[in-house]
């Protein structure tokens, strides 16, 4: 009987995590984060429709027309060897897809499961408790206390394409205020490492030398990467390598910078050489740089090997939205400071308390639910079932 209860609870937990959809809309009594825009009813794009959206976003503002948020040019070249110059922004499609998977599991709309007064409604905008909106979890500018942002807040909630374009406005600002990676060439996926870190917040929380992270960890493979065990950018890198299915994207093997080049205890990384490590913590084996297949010569530079996609089931832990570790959607740059979202709060299932110089990530970390978390939830459900059985 115990095994039956445990198995049932585990299955329930898996099902619950797969369907998790916060929608802390303006009118909700559960809206304690001052989310300022009402959720909009809508039908989430199919995988095929998402591919068209990602392809459009990847091409940058030159292909967006005038009915899109304004995006600054990218600074490229760091005399390594290219001299500094400016170019119209374009974005690696692999990176956009991976960030969107980590942030929201490619959800602009879903049927709300929380808060309680939204549960049971038809699909509407996914909104995290800290007011991250839509597929890109656009946050700053979407709260009642934020200054008026340089984009249309209502369209961030209602339009998946516009939401992602706004996310790329944010990512561009992060690129512009962070130091060089390699020669800062937008078509090189790894050159977005620090900007991706900054998308979630330039803080020591995302420093890969953070002592809360296992010092011998490997690539953050979705489903096998427990919550709190890797920084945000490594989770995105893991998604790029292990796509949920072949229909989502073709996996690449991105390289990682040396930990010694980043330094311990820093929230703003220095200029980094070209990443070349095969894992986040070891350079015993190396990887070559990846040229985005939508911006360059088909995917991999210098003879790198493109791996097959995971081809298994989607990540049982990260198939739910991040919905809390949302991007900083502030207009303009953040001058290299941490994400302008709420103050950090502890992530679940971290056993060792960090030193004060390493604040924990903000948000619920819903995009990082892992097997251990599900087992913990299953145990709680089992206990509840036993209590009910005793009362009967």
Instruction: Encode pLDDT of 354-384 as tens digits.
Output: 333 333 333 333 343 344 443 433 444 444 4
Listed range (93-107, 128-142, 181-195, 291-305) with the worst mean pLDDT: 291-305
How far apart, in whole angstroms, are the C-alpha atoms of residue 158 and residue 307? Answer: 36
- pLDDT at residue 36, rounded to an integer: 98
Would you place residue 302 in the very low, low, confident or very high pLDDT band (cuts 50, 70, 90)? very low
> 235 pLDDT exceeds 50?
yes
Would you place residue 140 in the very low, low, confident or very high pLDDT band (cuts 50, 70, 90)? confident
> 227 pLDDT exceeds 90?
no
Please provide residue 337's backbone torsions phi and psi, each rounded to the nearest 5 degrees: -85, 180
Would you place residue 388 in the very low, low, confident or very high pLDDT band (cuts 50, 70, 90)? very low
Q: What's the whole-number average pLDDT of the chain? A: 79
Please provide residue 205's backbone torsions phi and psi, each rounded to the nearest 5 degrees: -55, -40
Smallest CA-to-CA distance from 349 within 323, 321, 380 is with: 380
Between 18 and 366, residue with greater pLDDT: 18
pLDDT tens digit string along 82-135? 999 999 999 999 999 999 999 999 999 999 999 999 999 999 999 999 999 999
Smallest CA-to-CA distance from 134 within 45, 244, 197, 228 is with: 45
Would you place residue 296 in the very low, low, confident or very high pLDDT band (cuts 50, 70, 90)? confident
- pLDDT at residue 300, rounded to an integer: 41
Average pLDDT over residues 244-271: 96
Question: Residue 241 carries which DSSP code?
Answer: H
> 161 pLDDT exceeds 60?
yes
Smallest CA-to-CA distance from 378 within 2, 10, 1, 3 is with: 10
> 6 pLDDT exceeds 80?
no
Smallest CA-to-CA distance from 49 within 127, 161, 136, 147 is with: 161
Q: CA angle 211-179-231, nearest 5°?
A: 30
């Amino acid at each position: 009987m115990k095994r039956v209860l445990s198995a049932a609870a585990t299955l329930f937990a898996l099902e619950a995590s797969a369907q998790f959809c916060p929608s802390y809309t303006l009118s909700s009594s559960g809206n304690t984060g001052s989310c300022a825009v009402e959720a909009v009813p809508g039908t989430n794009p199919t995988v095929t429709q998402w591919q068209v959206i990602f392809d459009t976003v990847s091409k940058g503002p030159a292909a967006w027309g005038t009915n899109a948020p304004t995006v600054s040019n990218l600074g490229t070249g760091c005399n390594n060897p290219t001299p500094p110059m400016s170019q119209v922004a374009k974005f690696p499609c692999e990176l956009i897809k991976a960030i969107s998977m980590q942030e929201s599991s490619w959800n602009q709309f879903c049927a709300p499961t929380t808060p309680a007064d939204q549960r049971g409604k038809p699909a509407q905008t996914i909104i995290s408790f800290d007011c991250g909106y839509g597929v890109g979890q656009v946050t700053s500018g979407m709260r009642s206390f934020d200054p008026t942002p340089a984009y249309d807040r209502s369209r961030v909630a209602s339009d998946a394409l516009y939401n992602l374009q706004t996310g790329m406005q944010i990512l561009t600002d992060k690129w512009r205020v962070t130091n060089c990676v390699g020669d800062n060439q937008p078509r090189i996926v790894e050159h977005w490492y620090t900007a991706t870190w900054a998308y979630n917040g330039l803080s020591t929380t995302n420093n890969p030398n953070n002592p809360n992270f296992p010092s011998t960890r490997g690539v953050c493979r979705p489903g096998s990467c427990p919550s709190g065990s890797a920084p945000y950018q490594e989770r995105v890198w893991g998604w790029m390598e292990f796509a949920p299915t072949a229909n989502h994207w073709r996996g690449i093997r991105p390289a990682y910078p040396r930990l010694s080049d980043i330094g311990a205890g820093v929230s703003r990384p220095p200029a980094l050489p070209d990443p070349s490590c095969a894992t986040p913590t070891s350079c015993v084996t190396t990887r070559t740089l990846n040229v985005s297949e939508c911006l360059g010569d088909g995917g991999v530079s210098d003879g790198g090997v493109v791996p097959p996609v995971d081809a298994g089931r989607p990540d049982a832990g990260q198939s739910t939205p991040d919905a809390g570790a949302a991007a900083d959607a502030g207009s303009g740059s953040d001058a290299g400071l941490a994400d302008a979202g709420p103050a950090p709060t502890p992530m679940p299932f971290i056993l060792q308390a960090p030193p004060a110089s390493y604040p924990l990530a903000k948000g619920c970390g819903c995009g990082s639910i892992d097997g251990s978390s599900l087992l913990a939830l299953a145990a709680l459900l089992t206990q509840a079932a036993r209590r009910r059985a005793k009362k009967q």
